[in-house]
């Protein structure tokens, strides 16, 4: 049976999962995504080269790692084709994952506009509308699109979208890029650069092999459709439980759950943020931490670490190992704060190099005590090698 570990974000996304997945990826045969689509934005620096992935998991750049996009995802062909050109390997896709059409993007934009002040702050990538159509049982699986693309125009969904847009007196979107990318995907399929899996073939494969797979979450726990700050959430399940349905593996294959969190908090878009910082500190953290969305470029709201939220996220995900990122950013301040129960706790800051720094150890131990989980790795810079192991628990 295949063995699965999971890596999830414990905050509102952008925890630096990309770098961590890339770092851990050397231990795995497979790297998979199980939810979301191109609303994710992983920034990976591999051998000095910068990659930004939207559909692909971060360790896709590692030569030995096979990539699988599970049926819980949605895929937008123009973006997928563009990012896939950066890597030279076969990409494995579930034929059951759903396609985002150009009309989904437009509907997303129109809905956000119509919500006015109540806008959710979506990435406007068509993700929510595509999942809504899937739930309405009128979505288009990837397999259907690739087998007979032109037939899409005769589907109920296509006609429904045209009606919908007419109602909103909106110009239909341009389809050139979309059809071109679908043709590229069909060509890649013929050339073996893409492999489509049926759910049955995938589960048979999983039962047959002893391979190791890392399931990489996108967004973060507090954006989960059930467990996040609804309605200011994403349209998928971002927690570890989502791996079973989003990938097609049974629960008993999961071993480690890596929970990634930043030493402070950030949030893009609307929604509650109890520890949000005021100016000018918020802007300073944003600049030091380069807190701008990889997908949208939007500035992220910044705040102190909220241990109440982190504790909840650890429980929901069943985290077994914690990984802290961006500890170097807080090193620029003389004092840092952590919110726990109903008060802020102050800590003296540390040196940017962290290792053996007693102030930093005090900060980590306080977090570990409340969360009852070890902080196994600490990342202290964007480069791959700027990470160290604090405790002896290892993944290999
Ligand atoms: P993800 O969506 O969770 O993968 O996060 P992003 O990739 O959007 O954001 C992570 C950004 O922070 C990238 O530009 C990383 O290179 C950078 N990064 C990751 N870890 C660290 C860290 O420990 N310190 C600093 N300064 N930057 C980091």
Question: How far, in Å, CA of 209 to CA of 2, rounded?
Answer: 5
Domain boundary among 159, 190, 221: 190
Which residue has a Cα nearest atom 14 of ligand 1? 43
Same domain? 83 vs 175: no
Same domain? 249 vs 378: yes
Mutation to probe ligand 1, out of 9, 19, 219, 293 (largest number of atoms < 8 A from CB): 19
How many Å is the maximal CA-CA distance in the chain? 66
Same domain? 124 vs 58: no
Same domain? 89 vs 169: no
Which of 10, 14, 16, 13 lies closest to 378 in space, CA to CA?
Answer: 16
Least trusted range by pLDDT, from 91-105, 232-246, 345-359? 345-359
Domain boundary among 172, 190, 208: 190
Residue 344 lies in domain:
3-93+196-389
Residue 10 is assigned to a structural domain of this protein:
yes
CATH number of the domain at 357, please.
3.40.440.10
For residue 43, report the distance from its CA to the centre of ligand 1, in Å: 7
**Buried residues in 252-288 as b, exposed as e (16+ CB within 10 A):** ebbebbbbbbbbbbbbbbbbebebebeeeebeebbeb
Question: How far, in Å, CA of 246 to CA of 330, rounded?
Answer: 35
- For ligand 1, whether the C-beta of 19 sits within 6 Å is yes
Residue 155 is assigned to a structural domain of this protein:
yes
Span 376-391, average pLDDT: 91
Same domain? 84 vs 104: no
Query: Which tens digit of pLDDT belongs to each residue from 143-169?
Result: 999 999 989 999 999 999 999 999 998
> Structural domain tally of the chain?
2
Span 82-103, average pLDDT: 95
- pLDDT, residue 356, reads 81
What is the percent of the chain with per-residue pLDDT over 90, rounded to a whole number?
85
Same domain? 103 vs 73: no
Residue 371 is assigned to a structural domain of this protein:
yes
- For ligand 1, whether the C-beta of 54 sits within 6 Å is no
Give, in order, the Cα–Cα distances in Å from 288 to each of 292, 331, 348: 11, 10, 18
Query: Which tens digit of pLDDT belongs to each residue from 241-262?
Result: 999 999 999 999 999 999 999 9
Sign of the CA dihedral with 387 first, then 388, 393, and 396 last: positive
Q: 198 burial class (0-12, 13-18, 19+ CB within 10 angstroms)?
A: middle
Helices (H), 27-95: 77-84
Same domain? 22 vs 171: no
Sign of the CA dihedral with 96 first, then 100, 103, and 104 last: positive
Same domain? 102 vs 89: no
Query: Which tens digit of pLDDT belongs to each residue from 7-57?
Result: 999 999 999 999 999 999 999 999 999 999 999 888 788 888 888 899 999
Per the CB < 8 A criterion, the answer to whether 393 and 374 are in contact is yes
Same domain? 169 vs 44: no
Same domain? 174 vs 271: no
Which of 156, 64, 62, 160 lies closest to 107 in space, CA to CA?
Answer: 160
pLDDT level of residue 395 (50, 70, 90 thresholds)? very low
- pLDDT, residue 159, reads 95
**In the numeric block, which tokens belong to residue 330?**
């807080």
Same domain? 138 vs 234: no
**Annotation marks residue 42 as catalytic:** yes
Same domain? 204 vs 304: yes
**In the numeric block, which tokens belong to residue 335?**
């004092």
Which residue has a Cα nearest atom 11 of ligand 1? 16
Residue 394 is assigned to a structural domain of this protein:
no
């Amino acid at each position: 049976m295949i063995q699965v570990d999971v890596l999830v974000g414990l905050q509102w996304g952008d925890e630096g999962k990309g770098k961590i997945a890339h770092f851990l990826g050397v231990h795995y045969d497979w790297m998979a995504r199980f939810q979301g689509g191109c609303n994710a934005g992983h920034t990976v620096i591999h051998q000095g080269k910068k990659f930004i992935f939207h559909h692909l998991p971060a360790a896709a750049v590692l030569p030995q790692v096979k990539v699988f996009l599970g049926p819980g995802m949605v895929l937008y062909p123009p973006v997928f084709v563009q990012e896939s050109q950066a890597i030279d390997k076969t990409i494995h896709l579930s034929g059951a994952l759903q396609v985002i059409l150009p009309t989904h993007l437009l509907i997303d934009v129109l809905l956000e506009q119509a919500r006015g002040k109540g806008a959710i702050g979506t990435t406007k990538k068509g993700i929510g509308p595509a999942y809504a159509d899937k739930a309405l049982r009128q979505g288009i699986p990837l397999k259907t699109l690739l087998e007979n693309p032109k037939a899409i125009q005769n589907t109920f969904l296509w006609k429904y979208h045209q009606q919908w847009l007419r109602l909103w007196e909106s110009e239909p979107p341009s389809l050139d890029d979309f059809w071109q990318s679908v043709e590229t995907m069909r060509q890649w399929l013929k050339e073996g650069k893409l492999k489509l899996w049926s759910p049955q073939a995938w589960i048979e494969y999983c039962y047959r092999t002893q391979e190791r797979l890392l399931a990489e979450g996108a967004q973060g726990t507090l954006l989960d459709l059930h467990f996040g700050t609804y309605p200011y959430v994403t349209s998928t399940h971002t927690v570890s439980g989502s791996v079973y349905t989003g990938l097609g593996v049974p629960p008993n294959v999961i071993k480690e759950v890596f929970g990634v969190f930043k030493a402070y908090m950030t949030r893009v878009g609307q929604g509650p943020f109890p520890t949000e910082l005021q100016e000018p500190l918020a802007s300073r953290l944003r600049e030091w931490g380069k807190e701008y969305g990889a997908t949208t470029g939007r500035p992220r709201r910044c705040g102190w670490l909220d241990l109440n939220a982190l504790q909840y996220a650890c429980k929901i995900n069943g985290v077994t190992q914690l990984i802290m990122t961006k500890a170097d950013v807080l090193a620029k301040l003389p004092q840092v704060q952590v919110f726990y129960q109903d008060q802020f706790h102050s800590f003296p800051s540390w040196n940017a190099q962290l290792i053996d720094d007693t102030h930093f150890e005090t900060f980590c131990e306080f977090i570990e005590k409340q969360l009852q989980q070890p902080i196994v790795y600490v990342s202290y810079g964007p480069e791959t090698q700027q990470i160290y192991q604090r405790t002896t628990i290892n993944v290999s």
